Amino acid sequence: MSAQTLNENFVMEELAAIFRRARGNREPESRAALFESLRDLERRARCSGMPESILRRVAESRFLAGVLREAVSPIRYQSVRGTRHLWTAAPDLQASREAILQG
């Protein structure tokens, strides 16, 4: 679908689809892909003249995805058995998505 034919329902469906694809995937590449998908959706929505309320929801989603992308990165620590990675708490994408869509 081209940027000229986007409508509000399509943008919200695309936002939900992006979150469905990202659910449960905790690999660094998938978190980066989530952020990039949201950034692309925001750009397309802005170019097609979406209302400010829609743009704000997509922008908030992208912002939260960026925060979560950084918050769930590995932290190196030294143990007796050698260097290991400690993962911080993983995000609850379903709760985040629902909060954003209700916003």
> pLDDT tens digits, the chain, 103 residues: what are they?
444 457 888 989 998 898 888 777 767 778 888 889 999 999 999 999 999 999 999 999 998 888 877 776 555 555 555 555 444 455 556 666 666 676 5
Task: Give the three-class secondary structure for 38.
Answer: helix
What is residue 21's predicted lDDT score, i.e. its pLDDT? 83
The residue ranges of every structural domain in the chain are 3-102
What is residue 22's predicted lDDT score, i.e. its pLDDT? 78
Question: Quick check: pTM over 0.75?
Answer: no
What is residue 92's predicted lDDT score, i.e. its pLDDT? 58
Burial class of residue 23 (count of CB atoms within 10 Å of its CB; 0-12, 13-18, 19+): exposed
**26 alpha-carbon distance from chain centroid:** 12
Q: Where are the beta strands (DSSP E) in the chain?
A: 74-79, 82-87
